[in-house]
Amino acid sequence: MATQKNKLKEVRLSIPVSPEDIAALEIGTVVYLDGVIYTAREGAYKRILEQGIAPPVDLAQLSNVSFHCSPAAARNDDGSYTVGAVTATASFRFSRWLADWFPASGCKVIIGKGGMSAEDYRTHFVPNGAVYLTTVGYGTGALLGRGIKHVRDAHWLDELGIAQALWVFEVENMGPFLVESDLRGNSLFDRDAERINAGVERLYDGLQPPALSRYGETTSREDEVI
């Protein structure tokens, strides 16, 4: 493998990420983070947003970066935690909580896997001054695990279990992440999908139609299964 210098723009941001830093982010930029981040997914969303249970800490005070993630982690005998690899979980499932989540948490950066819909960016992210960062690969669990310097807390571990607990991590140069949505509502996945879709039909040119069509096969090839 020849080592090629990657031509992507790269930034290293301190948390809390400032409004100026967020406004300057462009889709496709590589991001590394320093500071405190916390994990929040359906378990935390349900407790805070549906059941009205107060968050275990003042989230807005803690950090403005939250992570759709469940770490491969274990609680040690002395009460500390060991985190091995860290991999994000697919974010599209959490769309329904976004409207309430941003005002409740003060969150400005959501990190996850695979992005959310353009509609979610327009309706929820942009008006709240927030952007979405995607993990890379998505199997870069060892690299992301390296970025965690200390596990500060694991809230609601008993109530929600390891995967769904609200983990608070102190991170250093954690990444890589890619800017998937910016404050103008652009989406990196959408931009590339448009280029790919332009060439999709030619792939099927000359292939005879199937003997038996399949229920659901009428879905346009430009559609996504999510």
Partner 1 sequence: MPQETKRTIPSDLIEATAFELMRRAAIEIPEDFRLGVEAMVDTEAEDLSRFVLESMVENWHAAEEDRRAMCADTGLPRYYVKAGNEAVIGGGFVALERALRRATARATHEIPLRPNRVHPLSRADHNNNVGINAPEIEFSFEPDADWLDITTVHKGGLFGTDYRMLFPGDGKDGIKRFFLDTMMQFGRRGLACQPAIVGIGLGGSKDTSMILGKQAACLRTVGDRHPDPEIAALEVELTELGNNIGMGPMGFVGTSMVVDCHIDVGYTHTGGMPMSVHSFCLSSRRAVARIHPGGEVEYRTDPNWFTPYHRREGIE
Residues of this chain that bind partner 1 (CB under 8 A) = 1-2, 4, 6-8, 28, 30, 69-72, 74, 82, 84-87, 90, 114-115, 134, 136-146, 176, 178, 188-189, 192-193, 195-196, 199-200, 203-204, 207-208, 210-212, 214, 221, 224-226
**Is 54 or 203 the residue whose CB approaches partner 1 more closely?**
203
Sequence-distant (6+) residues with CB within 8 A of 101 are 40, 45, 49, 107
**Is 72 or 157 the residue whose CB approaches ligand SF4 more closely?**
72
Nearest distance from C-beta of residue 56 to ligand SF4, angstroms: 28
Nearest distance from C-beta of residue 158 to partner 1, angstroms: 14
End-to-end alpha-carbon separation of the chain, Å? 35
Question: In this structure, what DSSP letter does residue 129 have?
Answer: T
Give which of ligand SF4, partner 1, none residue 193 binds (C-beta under 5 to 8 Å, depending on kind).
partner 1
CA distances from 137 to 27, 156, 179, 224 (A): 17, 29, 14, 19
Site for ligand SF4 (CB under 6 A): which residue of 127, 129, 139, 161? 139
**Is 64 or 135 the residue whose CB approaches ligand SF4 more closely?**
135
Give which of ligand SF4, partner 1, none residue 52 binds (C-beta under 5 to 8 Å, depending on kind).
none
Concatenating the DSSP letter of every residue in 77-90 gives TTS-EEEEEEEE-B
**Is 113 or 122 the residue whose CB approaches ligand SF4 more closely?**
113
87 binds ligand SF4 per the rule CB under 6 A: yes
Which of 177, 179, 114 minimizes the C-alpha distance to 140?
Answer: 177
Which of 97, 92, 102, 104 minimizes the C-alpha distance to 127?
Answer: 102
Consecutive H or E run containing 161: helix 157-164
Nearest distance from C-beta of residue 208 to partner 1, angstroms: 5
Angle at the Cα of 143 from the Cα atoms of 137 and 147, rounded to 5 degrees:
130
Site for ligand SF4 (CB under 6 A): which residue of 11, 29, 72, 138? 138
* CA-atom Rg of the chain in angstroms: 19
91 binds ligand SF4 per the rule CB under 6 A: no
**Is 117 or 123 the residue whose CB approaches partner 1 more closely?**
117
Question: Strand 30-39 relative to strand 65-67: parallel, antiparallel, unpaired?
Answer: parallel
127 binds ligand SF4 per the rule CB under 6 A: no
Task: Give the torsion sign (CA, 193, 120, 15, 156).
Answer: negative
The amino acid at 97: W
Please report, as ranges, the residues that interact with ligand SF4 according to CB under 6 A: 87, 138-139
